[in-house]
Amino acid sequence: MLLAALGLGLAVGLVIGALGGGGSILTVPLLVFALGLSAQQATSGSLVIVGVTAVVASISHARGGNTRWRTGLLLAAAGLPASVLGTRLNQLTDENVLLLIFAAVMLVTAAGMLLRSAHEHDPEVLDFGAPARGGATATAARAPGATPAARIRPAVRLVSAGVVIGFLTGFLGVGGGFVLVPVLVIGLRLPMPVAVGTSLLVIALNSGVALAARAGQSEFDWAVIAPFTATAVAGSLLGKKIANRVRADTLTRAFAVLLVLVAGYVAIRAVVALS
């Protein structure tokens, strides 16, 4: 069991470090089907694993200047109430229903990853107050002559994404990077390294809020969670180096295929258990 936790944690950390999210979506199925935790135990344990890993990885990205602090804090603040609500609903949901919902989210994630891979090399930048490449001031929303709607749309996107990510973190124990990174790249037009760094900041903050909401109400199997977390942290640092050497779209597409396969397995197991 210890060796399995160490190996699986390393794999999840590699994905989180390389893709800025997505690895967390594998954590719950691995904890349930490979390590024997219940769905509720797995979602709580996932928050510890993903939260700690995101903290370490985000520090590394922040040192490289790849974090938009204002954007990240706004996203986390928007998701705080939704994270608490998701935590409460998690405790009221049947375990197999929870796994079915998880499988559906994995399929949506795979689609989002493929969409993201189509925009990996977008050169434009759009962020609140952040300098664009070449030194130009940020956003089209702040450009002279921009309409009120053009000024409001980026904020609406951020708040909406923050609410969705906060809810998913509380309900399913996932970081939400698989939703957030495409939003930052496609919707706000941040370059990929900045989207990854900002995503990790939000994941760390959301995980902390969701864990606080579960305090005293959840069981944590530390014999599994501790070694899984330790190797996930190591893997996240290694994953960042891999990301610098392998084409991001190649990594993304391969991971999307893996998600589809795992989602199918999870859905079949949950349906069989319900019937």
Q: What confidence tens digit (pLDDT) does each residue in 163-183 have?
A: 888 898 889 887 777 677 767
Whole-angstrom distance, CA of residue 33 vs CA of residue 55? 26
Task: Kindly state the tokens that stand for 176.
Answer: 């939400």
With bands split at pLDDT 50, 70 and 90, how would you rate the model's confidence at 12?
confident
Whole-prediction pTM: 0.73
CB-CB neighbours of 65 under 10 Å: 9
Q: What is the pLDDT of residue 110?
A: 82
Q: Any idea what the Cα angle at residue 95 is, between residues 93 and 110, rounded to 5°? A: 95
With bands split at pLDDT 50, 70 and 90, how would you rate the model's confidence at 228?
very high
Most confident of 48-52, 235-239, 247-251: 48-52
Whole-angstrom distance, CA of residue 261 vs CA of residue 107? 9
Q: What is the pLDDT of residue 137?
A: 34
For the ranges 44-58, 184-198, 239-253, 257-271, which has the lowest average pLDDT?
Answer: 239-253
Please answer whether residues 53 and 231 qualify as being in contact, where contact means their C-beta atoms are separated by less than 8 angstroms: no
Q: What is the pLDDT of residue 71?
A: 86
Residue 268 lies in domain: 2-274
Considering its fold, how many domains does the chain have in total? 1
